[in-house]
Amino acid sequence: MSAGPGPFATLRAGPFRAVIFDMDGVLVDSEPAFLEAVNQVLAEEGRSIGFERYQRLLGTSVSVTWRGVLEMVGLPADDLQSYVERYEEALLETLGRPRPLLAGVEALIRELRGRQVPIGLATSSRQAWVEALLLGGVGLPLDTFDAVVWRQMVAKSKPAPDLYLKAAHLLAVQPERCVAVEDTPAGIASAKAAGMYAVQVRAASTAFPPIEDADLVIDTLEHFPMAVVETD
C-alpha cells in the first residue's frame, strides 16, 4: 500500500462517518468498455483513439469527453449530439457484458454495511449506464448503497463537487465527515472541492499514477483503512 501526504489522523480529526464510492475504475474495471464504445463510433468516421490519449478524459462528463475526443482525432464538433447518441447506444451493450467487481470491493461493502456505516455512490455516469453496468454487467443491486447519485441529478459533473455534495446530503452526513474513493484526477478534485477525504485506488487496468492531491493512495480496496471509519 502506498500513502499520500500522511495518515488520516494527521490530516483530519475524524473519525469519518460515511464512505462514498465512484463507480468506473473503483468498483469495476469498466473504463475499457467506454473506450471500446468510443472507438466503435469513431470507426464509422475512419478514426480511432488509443488509451494514452483517451486517459486524460477519464472521469469527465460525456460532452467534455466527446469534445476532447473529436479534437484529438481531428473531427469537427458541429454534430456533437449525433456522436453522443451513437456512443450511448454502443456503450449500453459494452457495459452490460458480464464482468467482476474489482479486488476488495465486495468484502469492503459487506464490512461497511455490517458496521452500519452509510455508503454512497457518486458517479459521472448517466443513470442508464449505471444500471447497465451494476445491474446487468455485475449483478450488484442499487440498494446496496444508501444513496446513489448519477450525472443527471446535479448541475455540474466532476471535477465540480456537485455529485459528492449531493451524495453527502442524501446520506445526511456532513461532507467533511465523508471519505471519497476515487481513481481519476477529476474525481479526486471533485472530492476535495466537496471538502472530503479523498482516497485514490489503483486497482483498475486504467489506473493513474499516484495523484498528488489525493490524501491517501492504495493499490486495492483490500487496503482500505477501516480504522478511521466511525461505527455504531
Query: How far is Cα 94 from Cα 112, in angstroms, rounded to an integer?
Result: 30
Q: In what order do the strands lie in the sheet with 147-149?
A: 147-149, 119-122, 18-21, 178-182, 197-201, 216-218
Q: Which of 22, 146, 183, 215 is catalytic?
A: 22
User: Which residues are 229's β-sheet partners?
Assistant: 16
Question: Beta 178-182 vs 119-122: how paired, if at all?
Answer: unpaired
22 is catalytic: yes
Catalytic residues: 22
